[in-house]
Amino acid sequence: MTDHTAGGFRLTLRRIIARLIPGLGYSRCMHCWLPWSVATPRDVPHGPMSATFVVCTHCWPHTTTEQRLHYARHLVFGIWPEPHDWPQIERSYRQEDPR
């Protein structure tokens, strides 16, 4: 199903473009799928020397806290061998919400 709003069209267009750009080993924005080689990640610090990024600066204002937490959970529990930092990461994402 396609979202016909202006925002949905832009997201669909970004996803089509993202499929045309080779990732070259880079991970991607979990919302629009553009690789980090062309998208700017939106860092969420969760410690003195640590941060995660799951969406790009373009997608950040177009996603909800719950969407970002869903992406972060996928990153932390799907990739990290020991996700012991999850409580702090979740707090950080909730505190970064500009709304």
Helix, strand, coil percentages, rounded to 5, for the chain: 45, 10, 45
Segment-wise mean pLDDT, segments of 10 residues, the chain, 99 residues: 54 73 73 88 90 93 94 88 86 80
User: Distance of alpha carbon 77 from its chain centroid, rounded?
Assistant: 15
pLDDT value for 53: 92
pTM of the model: 0.74
- Which of 52, 39, 55, 37 is closest to 83 using CA atoms? 52
pLDDT of residue 16: 74
Q: Treating both helix axes as pointing N-terminal to C-terminal, what angle do 65-79 and 86-95 enclose, rounded to 10 degrees? A: 160
